[in-house]
Amino acid sequence: MKKGWLYGLAFGLIWIACKMIAYNFHFLLNEIQPFVLLNMALLTTAIALFMYRKKRFYTSESNILTDIKSGLSAGLPYTLLVSFFLFFYYRDIYPEFNQNKRAAYERRMDSPEEIAAIRLGNSALENKSDSEIVEMARKNTAMMYDPQFTLSVSLLALLVYSTLNSLLIAVIYRKVVFRA
């Protein structure tokens, strides 16, 4: 197993441990932002540390593409581990999160002001009845809080984020840290 995979898996397990500790202590269960920021920080750290280690201790010639590849070798396992954990977390461990979010949205949809705001925000809905708008909103909300949708979005987002991070960190290392 390559060392990059170990970095990705180790930092992914750290994030999972933080999420499960928060779950066990009922700490910030309905908040997404702190865990997203922690997720981004750990992914960036995994990529940066592995790329630094590789550039520092392996003196073979490298170019920007091999640097990005080494960053992705740490980012890809992190992405897979965390995304599949999120799928099982929202499907099996804490499905109440999705149910609570759907219920809160449906309570908002009981308000005529909310329906009017939706109608004003989307010109295609001007001729729809209130019940049609509510039904469309329920379907969209059910899809948005589905664990499979969360899996797809997290895979895509983390993969793009790790690619951009690898590129940015490789450029920073080449231009600032390891100037030739």
State the CB neighbour count (10 A cutoff) for residue 30: 11
- What pLDDT shows up at residue 2? 64
- What pLDDT shows up at residue 43? 97
- Per the structure, how many domains does the chain have? 1
More confident residue, 78 or 57: 78
Q: DSSP of 49-95, one letter per residue?
A: HHHHHHHHH--S---HHHHHHHHHHHHHHHHHHHHHHHHHIIIII-T
More confident residue, 121 or 10: 10
Mean pLDDT for 84-105 is 90
Q: How do residues 53-76 score in pLDDT, each as one tens digit?
A: 888 877 667 788 888 999 999 999
Please give the residue range of the domain that contains residue 166: 3-177
Total-model pTM: 0.84
